[in-house]
Amino acid sequence: MKILVTGGTGYIGSHTVVELQNKGFEVLIVDNLSNSSAEIVEKIKKITGIKPVLEVFDLGDREKTVGFFKRNSDIKGVIHFAAFKAVGESVEKPLKYYRNNLVSLMNILEGMSETGVQNIVFSSSCTVYGQPDELPVSEKAPIKKAESPYGNTKQISEDIILDTIKASDIQGIALRYFNPIGAHETALIGELPLGVPNNLVPFITQTAIGIRDQLKVFGNDYPTPDGTPIRDYIHVVDLAKAHVIAVNRMIMNSMKKPFEVFNLGTGKGYSVLEVIHAFEKVSGQKLNYKIVGRREGDIIQVWADPSFSNKELGWKAEKGLDEMVASAWKWEKAYRAENK
Ligand code: NAD
Ligand code: WQD
């Protein structure tokens, strides 16, 4: 069964391609390599023994995208990861984000409509909840006004998919990720941010390996037990496995309604200092960090109520914080050793 993975050479996409191939799916990747490299397909081949087909083009190009679907109308499902994701950059360059994230999605939905491809899994984000009034946050929690153009593209994308579903035979699943971290156990694929990382864990591992001087901890005066913000970190392989279940659920017609939304988190929150201490424990080395002022736009705390996903998808995140940071560290060391 053929699955299109857009953004399949990226961080979460590449881990999902591996899990799809492990379950016997045939994978086609479309990626414009704006935030990834074509070499990833060789790494995937090393892990699974199968080299996925990679077509390099921009999903913002309507003609190319619809043309792709016309050539591949036997696709059973689309897992749509391709998007820009840097929150800070989206504030500086909102139109870049609205154009890339929304036009690509609309082109894909048009390609699907024109060729009878019915199933789409969409990468959404816990950012749609903002700072929730109640914790843990379930899928029923209200959507808060987005803090950034990036976050807004996720909210608008969910609406675009829902409206399209209402007017067509398409069905969709939006997966709202909490904070994905970690890497594949082989350390052949992992997270590779361009330039200075925005996210906590890549910044920690790059500091430990000596690329960055010091980690800045953005604030220790939050109303949390140790004063630093709390997030629900989830291992990228656990996250990837949920996509395989979601796409299969659609193909097997097991959905309860044509548009479903699921939280993908562990249900457990950790503070920034807890993540740092877990890293120090598993790596056996002290991290150079300093407490500085708060980062604008950061929420205090969020963690998922994953019980609906656990029950409906039969999926549960299995890996704990130590395993997550250990795999991120193993990947950082392996990548830097290979790319000196
Ligand atoms: P990533 O940047 O590693 O992967 C995205 C891939 O999409 C890249 O390979 C990039 O080259 C490609 N791409 C971007 N625009 C494209 C276009 N117009 N045409 C073709 N390819 C294009 O990001 P990721 O962390 O793997 O995130 C995947 C998805 O998950 C994104 O939609 C992101 O918004 C969402 N998400 C990520 C996180 C996170 O913390 N990483 C959290 C929640 C949601
Ligand atoms: C985690 C914690 C920081 C870096 C972002 C997006 C969100 C989603 C996931 C896509 C925070 C602190 C970080 C550093 C620090 N992505 N931190 N020093 O902000 O929860 O979520 O990624 O949808 O939309 O906003 O993740 O990893 O950036 O931060 O102290 O150098 O680590 O303040 O408390 P965040 P993060």
Ligand 2 center from residue 295 Cα (angstroms): 9
Task: Find the mean pLDDT for residues 320-327.
Answer: 98
Same domain? 143 vs 217: no
Helix (H, G, I), strand (E, B) or coil at 26: strand
Question: What is the number of domains present in the chain?
Answer: 2
194 domain-assigned: no
List C-alpha distances in Å: 327 to 102, 158, 184, 218: 33, 31, 7, 24
Same domain? 279 vs 157: no
Share of the chain above pLDDT 90, in %: 99
What is the sign of the dihedral through the CA atoms of 98, 100, 106 and 109? negative
Question: Does the beta carbon of 102 sit less than 6 angstroms from any atom of ligand 1?
Answer: no
Same domain? 7 vs 149: yes
Q: Which two tokens stand for residue 275?
A: 């993540």
Ligand 1 center from residue 335 Cα (angstroms): 20
Q: Containing H/E element for 209?
A: helix 200-209
Residue whose CA lies nearest to ligand 1 atom number 6: 7
Same domain? 150 vs 104: yes
Q: Given the CA of residue 217, which atom of ligand 2 is nearest to it?
A: 30
Q: How confident is the model at residue 36 (pLDDT cuts 50, 70, 90)?
A: very high
Residue 75 has a pLDDT of: 98
Residue 23 has a pLDDT of: 98
Final residue of a structural domain among 241, 264, 287: 264
Ligand 2 center from residue 272 Cα (angstroms): 9
Q: How confident is the model at residue 193 (pLDDT cuts 50, 70, 90)?
A: confident
Q: Given the CA of residue 127, which atom of ligand 2 is nearest to it?
A: 24
Q: Are 204 and 213 in contact (CB under 8 A)?
A: no
Same domain? 313 vs 242: no
Q: Which ligand is nearest to the CA of 299?
A: 2
In the predicted model, is pLDDT for residue 270 greater than 90? Answer: yes
Same domain? 284 vs 207: yes
Question: Does the beta carbon of 153 sit less than 6 angstroms from any atom of ligand 1?
Answer: no
Task: Find the mean pLDDT for residues 180-191.
Answer: 98
Task: Find the mean pLDDT for residues 10-33.
Answer: 98
**CATH number of the structural domain spanning residue 220:** 3.90.25.10
Same domain? 38 vs 73: yes
Residue whose CA lies nearest to ligand 2 atom number 21: 179
Same domain? 283 vs 257: no
Task: Find the mean pLDDT for residues 192-216.
Answer: 96
List C-alpha distances in Å: 159 to 98, 102, 200: 14, 11, 30
In the predicted model, is pLDDT for residue 323 greater than 90? Answer: yes
Question: What would the pLDDT profile of 236-261 be if each residue is shown by its tens digit?
Answer: 999 999 999 999 999 999 999 999 99
**CATH number of the structural domain spanning residue 23:** 3.40.50.720
Same domain? 139 vs 209: no
* Kind of pairing between the strands at 270-271 and 230-231: antiparallel
Q: Are 13 and 29 in contact (CB under 8 A)?
A: yes
Same domain? 152 vs 283: no
Task: Find the mean pLDDT for residues 7-33.
Answer: 98
Share of the chain above pLDDT 70, in %: 100
Q: Could you tell me the residue range of the domain that residue 305 belongs to?
A: 200-231+267-332
Question: Does the beta carbon of 228 sit less than 6 angstroms from any atom of ligand 1?
Answer: no
Mutate to test the pocket of ligand 1, among 12, 15, 262, 302 (most ligand atoms within 8 A of CB): 12
pTM: 0.99
Omega before residue 136 within 30° of 0, cis: yes
Q: Are 244 and 252 in contact (CB under 8 A)?
A: no
In the predicted model, is pLDDT for residue 159 greater than 90? Answer: yes
Question: Does the beta carbon of 33 sit less than 6 angstroms from any atom of ligand 1?
Answer: yes
Ligand 2 center from residue 26 Cα (angstroms): 34
Same domain? 285 vs 161: no
Q: Spot the catalytic one: 11, 97, 129, 150.
A: 150
In the predicted model, is pLDDT for residue 340 greater than 90? Answer: no
Question: What would the pLDDT profile of 122-137 be if each residue is shown by its tens digit?
Answer: 999 999 999 999 999 9
Phi, psi torsion values for 339, nearest 5 degrees: -120, 50
In the predicted model, is pLDDT for residue 25 greater than 90? Answer: yes
Q: How confident is the model at residue 194 (pLDDT cuts 50, 70, 90)?
A: confident
Same domain? 90 vs 209: no
Q: Known catalytic residue: 97?
A: no
Phi, psi torsion values for 292, nearest 5 degrees: -125, -170
- Rg from Cα positions in the chain: 19
103 domain-assigned: yes
Q: Mean pLDDT for the chain?
A: 97
Question: What would the pLDDT profile of 134-152 be if each residue is shown by its tens digit?
Answer: 999 999 999 999 999 999 9
Q: How confident is the model at residue 106 (pLDDT cuts 50, 70, 90)?
A: very high
195 domain-assigned: no
Ligand 2 center from residue 178 Cα (angstroms): 10
Report which residue type is found at 1: M
Task: Find the mean pLDDT for residues 180-206.
Answer: 96
Mutate to test the pocket of ligand 2, among 80, 218, 271, 324 (most ligand atoms within 8 A of CB): 218
Letter string b/e over residues 284-307, b meaning 16 or more CB atoms within 10 A of that residue's CB: eeeeebeeeeeeeeebebbbbbbe
105 domain-assigned: yes
Burial class (CB in 10 A: 0-12, 13-18, 19+), 69: buried
